[in-house]
Each structure stands twice: as C-alpha cells, then as structure tokens.
Amino acid sequence: MKLEALDIFVVGTPPPGWGGHYWIIVRLTTECGLVGYGEVYAAAVGPEAMKAVITDVFSRHLQGENPENIEIMFRRAYSSGFTQRPDPTVMGAFSGMEIACWDILGKARDRPVWALLGGRMNERVRAYTYLYPLPHHDKAAFWTSPEMTAESAVAAVDQGFTALKLDPAGPYTLRGGHQPGMRDLETCDQMLAAVRAAIGARADILLGTHGQFTPAGAIRLGAAMERHQPLWFEEPIPPDDIPGMAEVARAVRIPIATGERLSTKAEFGAVLRAGAAHILQPALGRAGGIWEVKKIAAIAEIYGAQIAPHLYAGPVEWAANIQLAASIPNLLMIECIGTGGEFHLPLINHAITVEDGYVVPPETPGLGITFDESLARAHQYSGPSLHLEMREAPCDYSNGNNFEGGAPRT
C-alpha cells in the first residue's frame, strides 16, 4: 500500500462564511485505490501558492510511502530544508495530508481512526460553539450587542450546548498587542454580563481573544472579567510571547487557553513548561496532524492540562478533531460551528451531528465521513483573500471597535 496521487480542493464558503473565506481539502490515493481526505488549516500564503507547497511536500516526503509510516514522513517534513523546527506553512501542508493517511488506514482496516489511536476513551464528546447571529439579527451590530448576544446564547443553550464562546474585546490588529480601550472594557463586561444573566449556570462562558493585547492589557481585561467566571481566557496576547502569556496566567484567575496558531509538540511543550496555559487548542490541520496532537495531549497530561481542539475551518478537520477527541483522557471539549455548519454538513453528507451539545464519534471506517467532491468543485474559490486576515488599522480609542467575527467580506 503506497501513496500514489494527490488532489487539492480549495472550497469557497458561501455567505455567511463561517469557518473562513475558504477551506483547503486534500485527497490522497494509494496504488491500490484507497482514498483518504484531510484538511490544511495553515494558509499564510494565497491558495495557488499553498497548493504548490502541498504538492511539493507530497512529492518530497509522502509519495511512494506506505501511509502507515506517519512518523518517518513527519520527520522528513519537519526536517526539510535543514530546519527541524515547526515551519507553519510546511507543517500545515503536512498536517492535512497526515489526516488523509489516517483516513486511508481506517478504511484499510475497516475501523474508525479512534480505534487505531488506543481505542475509544469518550463515548460522547462535549461540544462548544461561538455565538453567531440569529436569522433576524443585524449581522453588523451583533458583535457588540449585549441583547442580541444574550438571545443567541439562550438559543444555543436550548440546543444543548454547555459552553459558549464570544469575542467582544476589540480588533485583531497586525500591529501586535495593545492596551484595551475603556469602551472595549465596558463592552466586554456588558456582553459577558448579559450572557451570564440570560443563561445562568446552564453553560460555561469562553472568553475569546486572539492575541490582541500586551501582557499588561490582557491582565487589565482579565481582571475585569473575572466576576463573570469564564472557563477560559483565550490567547490573550500574541502566541509567540510565551513568557508574557505566563505572566498573564499568573496574574489572572481565569484559565488561559492557547494553541490555534501553534505547530507541533515543540511549541506546545514550550507553553506547558512555562506554565503559560492549561488548556491547549491545537488545530489539527496546522499542528502536525492527528498523531502529533495525540503526542501533545499525552505531554499535556503530565502538566495537568486539557485539550480543546480548535476549529475555524471546514468539516474534514472537524471530523479529525472528533476522532482524536474520542481517544484521549484529558479532553475538555471540541469546537463546533453551531450544530455543524450549514455548508459544512452537506460537504460530508451529514455524516456527523451535534445532538444536545455533544458529538458521538462515528463507528464508520476512517474519519467517518463521505466527502462530496461535486459540491466542493461547485464552490471552487478564486478570490484574492487569505483564509483569515488581520486588520491593519490600530485599536480605535475614540469611537470603539466592532469586529464582525470571522465572516468574509460581502
């Protein structure tokens, strides 16, 4: 059984675009005709350039190899160009194809991937979702509206979710960390207060930020939000500043979560050693794939840390998250896009469902999904954007800030 061929789908997301502007799905085929699907989350270059990277990584490190040999293929990609460090673009390309290898291996053995990872530890996997606008909401005003956010929170809890995430804390700016404005502090406080008043103790609140702040700014915000008892304070400062994140972790009485922008056990291990976070959020399509994140989860156990796989991508990474989550003892929860995503679910023929706030890991072989290639081709992406983009303008201290979630521009 040797890996023979690679195909790449760049799938544009229709409005409202939850999950990013597009998703990069890879298909690997063996000489004996077995097919596996994976998803590349890292996309710091445009789709055409990323397709070239994926093709190069495949031809150099995977083509002609037995898909069982995950470890040697990982070491080839990790060491390529005399690096032996986590290059996010190369590791992103490898991660997606590594996921496809596991899909192939499960199909070859007629077993779900979780069965090949040590067996099923979790019969059900707890799910959380961002709070998204309801159909009748003003989608531009939603992100800083305590009333609309609270209404969305009630709807999500009524669907069974026991954890809800929101990010009302201001802009993600490429300028790096900043001090939050007083309007941002006030808005954040009002938003969390409204959600807590609406849902009571029915669900945890997850305070989402994305590296917006300096350590001092994150401590200011975190201290102000402690009264709402969030379960976590997500990536409060840029992810490369591990000592700064450890400073925040020591100063704030909210657990720190991080990981969606980190890659491989090298970076996650540094976070754990520094005491910078006790909730890790690896994105399987960037962090090295299923086997590498299984290792990260094992290391995290030693430090009393839990795993909450990240998802702001397509349904193939979601399926991989579920397989991993089923197999690890220190799982906290997984991210979902609502109850699966209006475009995500048709792409995998509704093979996975969120019911009462939980996902039951599939029993079907491989990742447990059937990928709809015809639907993917009907939504090929051809725009100029990256998967996600940061804003150039600085924090607005005069008029406040209103970041419209992760939705693409209309």
Judge whether 382 lies within some domain. Answer: no
> pLDDT tens for residues 113-170?
999 999 999 999 999 999 999 999 998 899 999 999 999 999 999 999 999 999 999 8
> pLDDT tens for residues 288-332?
999 999 999 999 999 999 999 999 999 999 999 999 999 999 999
Look up residue 354 and give its DSSP letter: E
Which CATH number fits the domain that encloses residue 223? 3.20.20.120
Give the type of residue at 119: G
Judge whether 89 lies within some domain. Answer: no
What is the pTM for the complete model shown? 0.97
Judge whether 326 lies within some domain. Answer: yes
What is the C-alpha separation between 212 and 232, in angstroms, rounded?
15
Per the structure, the complete domain to which residue 311 belongs is given by 116-369
> pLDDT tens for residues 82-102?
999 999 999 999 999 999 999
What is the percent of the chain where pLDDT is above 90? 90
Q: Give the highest mean pLDDT range of 10-24, 135-149, 357-371.
A: 357-371
Per-residue model confidence (pLDDT) at position 403: 73
Judge whether 168 lies within some domain. Answer: yes
CB burial readout 19-32, b (16+ within 10 A) else e: bbbbbbbbbbbbee
What is the C-alpha separation between 264 and 253, in angstroms, rounded?
28
Is the pLDDT at 226 greater than 70, yes or no? yes
Judge whether 340 lies within some domain. Answer: yes
Judge whether 105 lies within some domain. Answer: no
Interval 251-255 mean pLDDT: 98
Look up residue 173 and give its DSSP letter: B
Judge whether 395 lies within some domain. Answer: no
Is the pLDDT at 409 greater than 70, yes or no? no
Matching residue, tokens 């679910």? 345
Residue 408: band (very low, low, confident or very high) from pLDDT cuts 50, 70, 90: low
Per-residue model confidence (pLDDT) at position 188: 96
What is the torsion angle, in degrees rounded to the nearest 10, for the CA atoms of residue 336, residue 339, residue 340 and residue 346?
-170
What is the C-alpha separation between 278 and 295, in angstroms, rounded?
16
Report the mean per-residue pLDDT for the chain: 95
Name the domain count of the chain. Answer: 1
Judge whether 385 lies within some domain. Answer: no
